[in-house]
Structures are given as C-alpha cells and as structure tokens.
Amino acid sequence: MKGFVLDTSVLFYGKDLPDGYELVISPGVVRELEREGMAQRLELLLATRIRVSSPSKRSLAKVESESQRTGDSTRLSETDKEILALALDLGYQLLTDDYSIQNLATVLGVPYRGFDQKGITKVLEWESKCGGCGKVFSAEVKECDVCGHPTRMRSRKGPRRA
C-alpha cells in the first residue's frame, strides 16, 4: 500500500484525509500540533489513522544539503525538513500546501500534492541582496559585509519549471 506523509497544516484544516492510504507524520508534526492545542484531535488521529515515524539521518542530511543549495534552508522549519526526509525514506507522496516545501520536494524528486491549494508552477532558488550597495549573497546572509546594510531575500533570476 502506498501512502502520504502529512504536513502539519493538513491536519489543521479538519477536512477528510485520503482514504485507502497509509498516513504518516513526523515527531515534529506531533510537537507542532500539541503546541497549537490540538492534542485531543491528535490522539484520535493516532488511534485510528495516522502513525508517527522519524526520518533517517541520511535523508535529513540530503534535505539540509539541498535546502542550503537552493536557499530554502532559511524558509523551512525543522519539521518541514523532517517531513521531506520522511517522504524520501518511505517513497510516499507528500501532502502539503506549503510552497517552500513543494519547491524543495520538486528539487529532491519527492512527489507531492496540495491539499487545499493548487501548488507551485516553477522551482525557485533564493539569494540575498544588500539594500545599500546591491551586493548579492547566499540566502542565509542577513547583513552586507561591505556596507553593513541588511539584505533582502529574492528569487534568483531564471527559475526552473516545476
């Protein structure tokens, strides 16, 4: 049986989840749901339909490496990276409306589908640009080493198709 790895936001909607598939979440999704006061709903879901699984260190390292390369690292939470790595490990489709997750999923070759939104139409890679002198940096740089001005994130020119 094939399955889906679920993003936290999918469980917030309260809509029906896909039938006939194994549904998996990461420990980070559990923590996010508990923090948002959804412990009762989570208990019900875990008792009936969803299992929790942790991704491998190897897949987490691959996700981190690719997110650094594309500049998505600063746009993704640790939980986002967990579910991407878990989908890599299991070979399952990712169910998410988060465009940053979809962006990196495309780069990693992880199949995904939106739950309530259409989804991305092109892959973006990110960089930072100084608001003072215009120097361009990798996405993680927050302050220019030339003039000291803050940088702003922007997509690199010539994005690829999703």
pLDDT per position as a tens digit, 120-147: 667 777 788 898 898 998 888 889 998 9
Q: What does each C-alpha distance from 51 to 45, 47, 82, 157 come to in angstroms?
A: 8, 8, 15, 41
Residue among 114, 96, 103 at smallest CA distance from 73? 103
Q: For residue 18, what pLDDT is reported?
A: 84
Q: For residue 159, what pLDDT is reported?
A: 45
pTM greater than the 0.75 cutoff: yes
Complete DSSP assignment for 91-134: TPEEE---HHHHHHHHHHT--EE-SSS---SEE--EEEEESSS-
Mind listing the pLDDT tens digit for each residue in 69-80?
A: 888 888 899 999
